[in-house]
Structure 1
Amino acid sequence: MQAHKTETGTSDALAELAGANELEIYRRIFYASPDYIAFSRLSDGCFIDVNPGFERMLGFRREDVIGKTSYEVGIWPESGADQRKEYARKLLQERAVRDYPGHLRTARGTIIDVEASANIVQVHGEELLIAIVRDVTERNRATAALHEADRRKDEFLAMLAHELRNPIAPISMAAQLLMGAPGDEVRVRQISQVIARQVGHMVNLVDDLLDVSRVTRGLVALEQHALDLNALLPDAVEQVRPLMDARRHTLVVQPSAEPACICADRLRIVQIAANLLTNAAKYTPEGGHVTLAVRLLAQHVELTVSDNGIGIAPELLPRVFDLFTQAERSPDRSQGGLGLGLALVKSLTELHKGTVAADSGGIGQGSVFSVRLPRLDIPIVIAGAALQPPAAALPARALRILLVDDNVDAADTLAAYLSGLGHEVDVRYDARSALDLLDAGLPDAGIFDIGLPEIDGCALARQLRARPGGRACRLLALSGYGQDRDQEDARRAGFDRYFVKPLDTGSLAALLAQWAV
């Protein structure tokens, strides 16, 4: 019945439209169109009529336009004369144009982007120009923004490739040197330190990328407590001290005279301060001066990092906190980085209901970054002592561990580390051979790579849990993926803990020591 009503209604409408004369159809389109429609005489250029879309788009009243030319109304901006001449030439030659780009001035004086379609027609022996004009300002802005984002993405990928190649090169060379110095303990120790430093650099890059992803998707949960911001400054300074020392910077720390009370996540506030200090160190030439200061305001606590470095160009200043934005690199590429640090500062500050700002006198004039956080009016706060990494505790007893990883080098080096802690380790490089080993008995603990071929780590964990006594085995997942859904999948498969590669060996040793009690 409803379909019949719909068909009948459509038929009635079509019949009504067919019965209307062309003038009536035109009038309906003329008044309903959101675009500007205007009729003008070709002989003198005067407007004969304009529709409500004209009034809405340009802000001129119909009665003020009729009988005047477009130049007398003033809709043409001074710029773009060549484009208008080409438009007129094409129109007179072809008697029609389609989607011709241009610019118009509104009654308010603003310039908008438009696309014009026009035809020359004869009515009662007189040539008239019918123009239909569409405002494409917002569309053009969106397109330009997409192109800019695409350009910055390409620049970011190029920077990422460069930043990853930097640590990979010394790691590769160190591996070759290790093969040539098996008995030289001093040399092996030096090379191992190089590898550890470079791996740490890569981990920091990956952590920054993951942090940006989590923050932009709203997945960061803050653990907020009452804190004295002054007490967090040493933690931030400790993180950036090696970079400051390497570039021979003078760092001055100026805490506030009274407690700077805030309600915040201590780790994230340290991250904000450390990122600002790192940014200052990267963009301040050797021997420069950096100041970290805390100031108390009426309603806020202000953290500032100022430097006498290369400064910020005026055109970059409004975008300095945008994702992947980075100042021009120096010839020696000393700044480095991926342009993520300041974007994280802004996102994390806003999560704390704060604001962030940047200021600079221009190129060569240094810069000042300021973070303002809501101030707590309380006299006593929790101390912000630095977190210490868990110590590599010796186990109370040796665990029988089944280690499964298809990366042979990763499996063998981890097995060597675990054996050094006193555990008994069986290594398998695929899930099928691990299942064969389980037929002979279950281990005390299993460490499974998630991305195994054929049977992945989660499937292996489910099969182990399904065996008699499988619930008593402790399981730890290893993966290069660290998103929440990956960890939730592993938890449902039966894993007790989830470690993201590269593995924090201190945390692993402490966990195994707990399991061995």
Structure 2
Amino acid sequence: MCNAAFLKMLGFGREEDAIGKKLHGVIHHSHPDGSDYDVCDCPIYQTAQTGMPAHVPDELFFRLDGSGFPVEYRVRPVWQDGQLQGAVCTFVDISERKRTEQALQHSQAHVESLFAQTGAGVSETDLTGKLLRMNDRFCQMVGRSREELLTWRMQDYTHPDDLPRNLPPFEHAAATGAPFEIEKRFVRPDGTVMWVSNTVSPVRSALGGPVDSMLAVSVDISERKRAEEALREADRRKDEFLAMLAHELRNPMAPIRAAADLMQAVQLEPERLKRTSQIISRQVSHMTDLVDDLLDVSRVTRGLVTLDQTDLDVKQVITDALEQVRRLIEAKRHHLTVDLDPAPAHVLGDQKRLVQILTNLLNNAVKYTPAGGNLHLTLQTSPQQVRLHVADNGVGIAPSLQAHIFDLFAQAERSPDRAQGGLGIGLALVRSLVELHGGTVRCESAGAGKGSEFVVTLPRTADASLPDAPQRSGDALAASSLPRRILIVDDNNDAAQMLAMVLEVAGHDVTVQNSSVRALDWARGERPDVCVLDIGLPEIDGNALARRLRSQPETAGATLIALTGYGQEQDRLQAMAAGFDHFLVKPVDAAAILALVAAPADAAVRTQM
């Protein structure tokens, strides 16, 4: 027997068509893999034979047309008078349920894939904040393993300072189901933090039911936070710069205004008028320098500067830079030592810009080193690089500033004198110019009060690989490979010391005497190779001093160079007649005098310049 639902399910038109057929032969054609389905494998047959009930949750049945469909069925034995008569089987077509389950499985697999592979960190907690599950990205963000995190709560990896903002909306969401967003920090095992944007949504087991858990999607926003902080810092430095610029511009404007008021109010006598005019000129020059610096750094940072690159000897760059800062060094009574690698130090660069780089670094060393301090300039070479070290024992640089010391408008109170703070553009300009030359610059300092050192590294060039460059004073520096003992006699101490520095940079042993009498005594005992004499000397003039040097055996063979402000023909003739080998008129190019110093002592040709 069978009911109408069975007939319809199997595709029979009438009950008479089904009665008398073997059930197994109707519903079981083959296994899902295509193999034969033996009658002994049929649970219905087994129940009819053994009396043991059976439950099959999912098996493939076949209709009369051969189409298959999934069925759940139960089989119970039929007993009569203690005798097993057969079995009763109930069938349920589970095709729709199977489709629903497959769709659910597919959806769940899709969700799991998104959960696992999304670039955001995803985590689920219970209503107390205890972690229930999380994806790999979340583990990476927090910096801990999944096993460890499953024992943690949300409160354990959230920055303590952010918890007062995080806990109230979390508790409110757990109670009401209202989602929320928050920006907070994750604390990693090494103590570092990661900023995240957290979107938290309550999870319900049924529509309209209570909240079961909390799902959080965490997006790393550390880079954005750093950019925002950098913008705030840049804005702060800009405000400080504008305040400093106003201060620096008002300083020279005050005496200019006072001088203008004075000149307008009264008729000044010539001497006072001259001093007033000089004040205006100096202050206008100072203001011009400030504006020029601003324009210069603007052009460099915008890439509008073109370098005029030639083969340069860095030793000449050092000479030119020292000449510019010499007066500042002397004014603060600093002790400057210069240590130069004897090897040639050639680079492909712009002479003016390289001098500007070194001058800025030396000026900084002078400004931030108390009077009487020590400055040290070192030149080192390697096969590929030329390195310049500018060191001082001044006020140093705080660690917090060192990372930003080359940023535009970066400055700090490195000295008690606020005027020394500068506009914060010098080192930014240095870095830009160094990088234009393909080099690097860095600063080192042990901290406040412990001095500082700046190191510029430039690519070194091989002399033979470069085209011939015009003869410059730097070439003479490189040519002065044989050290000479040199005496300079000049009553102008600044001029003498500057010349001595040029010669010392070239590797010579130089002594300066401001008195011709003391110079004569020194020369007799020390036997100099070269004597550079001013003509207009007190006590004994330069020509008379030259005759005496020629007359005593200790200095008779020395090279004598006249360096004078008197440039008439008769001056030259008198000097040459007095025994000078060379006659130079101030101001003289460093290359000229270095070439003469390097020439052999018995050179036959005498020079007049």
| 2:305 aligned with 1:211 | no
2:195 is aligned to 113
| 2:479 aligned with 1:376 | no
Residue 163 (structure 1) shift? 0.9
| 2:319 aligned with 1:237 | no
For residues 237-256 of structure 1, the aligned pairs below 5 Å read 237-256=322-341
Q: Secondary structure at the match of 2:394?
A: coil
Distance 1:358 1:290 in 2: 15
**1:209-246 residue CA offsets vs partner (Å, 9 max, x unmatched):** 11111111111100011111111223222322343333
Judged with a 3 Å threshold, the aligned counterparts in structure 2 of structure 1 residues 98 and 87 are, in CA distance, closer, same or farther, namely closer
Distance 2:280 2:154 in 1: 74
1:328 is aligned to 413
For residues 74-473 of structure 1, the aligned pairs below 5 Å read 75-76=157-158, 82=164, 85-86=167-168, 88-92=170-174, 94-105=176-187, 111-124=193-206, 127-179=212-264, 182=267, 184-328=269-413, 330-378=415-463
Residue 33 (structure 1) shift? 5.4
Residue 319 (structure 1) shift? 1.4
Distance 1:214 1:24 in 2: 60
Asked if structure 1 preserves the Cα contact closer than 8 Å seen for 2:368 and 2:414, the reply is no
1:504 is aligned to none
Q: Secondary structure at the match of 1:203?
A: helix
Q: Which amino acid aligns with 1:270?
A: V
Q: Which amino acid aligns with 2:314?
A: L
1:423 is aligned to none
Distance 1:255 1:61 in 2: 56
Q: Select the structure of larger CA radius of gyration.
A: 2
Q: Which amino acid aligns with 1:100?
A: I
Distance 1:312 1:142 in 2: 25
Asked if structure 1 preserves the Cα contact closer than 8 Å seen for 2:441 and 2:455, the reply is yes
Residue 312 (structure 1) shift? 0.8
**1:25-49 residue CA offsets vs partner (Å, 9 max, x unmatched):** 99497678543333444378452x5
Residue 182 (structure 1) shift? 4.9
Residue 324 (structure 1) shift? 1.0
Asked if structure 1 preserves the Cα contact closer than 8 Å seen for 2:404 and 2:410, the reply is yes
Residue 88 (structure 1) shift? 4.0
Q: Secondary structure at the match of 1:218?
A: coil
1:432 is aligned to none
Q: Which amino acid aligns with 1:306?
A: A
**1:258-302 residue CA offsets vs partner (Å, 9 max, x unmatched):** 432111100000100110111111111122222233222332112
Asked if structure 2 preserves the Cα contact closer than 8 Å seen for 1:228 and 1:383, the reply is no
Asked if structure 1 preserves the Cα contact closer than 8 Å seen for 2:129 and 2:154, the reply is no
Asked if structure 2 preserves the Cα contact closer than 8 Å seen for 1:240 and 1:277, the reply is yes
Q: RMSD of aligned C-alpha atoms?
A: 3.6
Q: Secondary structure at the match of 2:251?
A: helix
Q: Which amino acid aligns with 1:111?
A: V
Question: Is there any run of 5+ residues in structure 1 with no aligned partner, and where?
Answer: 1-19, 387-517
The alignment's TM-score, normalised by the length of structure 1, stands at 0.62
Judged with a 3 Å threshold, the aligned counterparts in structure 2 of structure 1 residues 92 and 213 are, in CA distance, closer, same or farther, namely same
Asked if structure 1 preserves the Cα contact closer than 8 Å seen for 2:130 and 2:153, the reply is no
Higher relative contact order (CA 8 A, sep 6+): 1
1:42 is aligned to 127
Judged with a 3 Å threshold, the aligned counterparts in structure 2 of structure 1 residues 375 and 107 are, in CA distance, closer, same or farther, namely same
**1:163-210 residue CA offsets vs partner (Å, 9 max, x unmatched):** 111111122122233335656332222222222221121111111111
Distance 2:402 2:312 in 1: 31
Judged with a 3 Å threshold, the aligned counterparts in structure 2 of structure 1 residues 38 and 192 are, in CA distance, closer, same or farther, namely same
Distance 2:189 2:445 in 1: 37
Judged with a 3 Å threshold, the aligned counterparts in structure 2 of structure 1 residues 288 and 55 are, in CA distance, closer, same or farther, namely closer
**1:469-492 residue CA offsets vs partner (Å, 9 max, x unmatched):** xxxxxxxxxxxxxxxxxxxxxxxx
Distance 2:284 2:390 in 1: 28
Distance 1:161 1:44 in 2: 54
Judged with a 3 Å threshold, the aligned counterparts in structure 2 of structure 1 residues 121 and 183 are, in CA distance, closer, same or farther, namely closer
Q: Which amino acid aligns with 1:115?
A: S
1:503 is aligned to none
Q: Secondary structure at the match of 1:222?
A: coil
1:480 is aligned to none
Q: Secondary structure at the match of 2:399?
A: coil
Distance 1:52 1:258 in 2: 58
Asked if structure 1 preserves the Cα contact closer than 8 Å seen for 2:179 and 2:202, the reply is no
Distance 1:46 1:256 in 2: 64
Asked if structure 2 preserves the Cα contact closer than 8 Å seen for 1:312 and 1:366, the reply is yes
* Consecutive aligned runs of 4 or more in structure 1 exceeding 6 Å deviation: 59-62, 106-109
Q: Which amino acid aligns with 2:202?
A: I
Asked if structure 2 preserves the Cα contact closer than 8 Å seen for 1:227 and 1:383, the reply is no
Asked if structure 1 preserves the Cα contact closer than 8 Å seen for 2:174 and 2:214, the reply is no
Judged with a 3 Å threshold, the aligned counterparts in structure 2 of structure 1 residues 71 and 322 are, in CA distance, closer, same or farther, namely same
Q: Number of aligned pairs?
A: 364
**1:407-430 residue CA offsets vs partner (Å, 9 max, x unmatched):** xxxxxxxxxxxxxxxxxxxxxxxx
Residue 76 (structure 1) shift? 5.0
Q: Secondary structure at the match of 1:211?
A: helix
**1:322-370 residue CA offsets vs partner (Å, 9 max, x unmatched):** 1111121544324142011111111101111111111112111111111
Asked if structure 1 preserves the Cα contact closer than 8 Å seen for 2:158 and 2:184, the reply is no
Q: Which amino acid aligns with 1:344?
A: L
2:607 is aligned to none
For residues 31-70 of structure 1, the aligned pairs below 5 Å read 34-42=119-127, 45-47=130-132, 50=134, 54=138, 57=141, 68-70=150-152
Asked if structure 2 preserves the Cα contact closer than 8 Å seen for 1:266 and 1:384, the reply is no
Question: Is there any run of 5+ residues in structure 2 with no aligned partner, and where?
Answer: 1-102, 475-609
Judged with a 3 Å threshold, the aligned counterparts in structure 2 of structure 1 residues 185 and 206 are, in CA distance, closer, same or farther, namely same
Asked if structure 2 preserves the Cα contact closer than 8 Å seen for 1:231 and 1:385, the reply is yes
Judged with a 3 Å threshold, the aligned counterparts in structure 2 of structure 1 residues 214 and 59 are, in CA distance, closer, same or farther, namely same
Q: Secondary structure at the match of 1:162?
A: helix
Judged with a 3 Å threshold, the aligned counterparts in structure 2 of structure 1 residues 169 and 384 are, in CA distance, closer, same or farther, namely farther
Distance 1:375 1:30 in 2: 55
Asked if structure 1 preserves the Cα contact closer than 8 Å seen for 2:333 and 2:373, the reply is yes
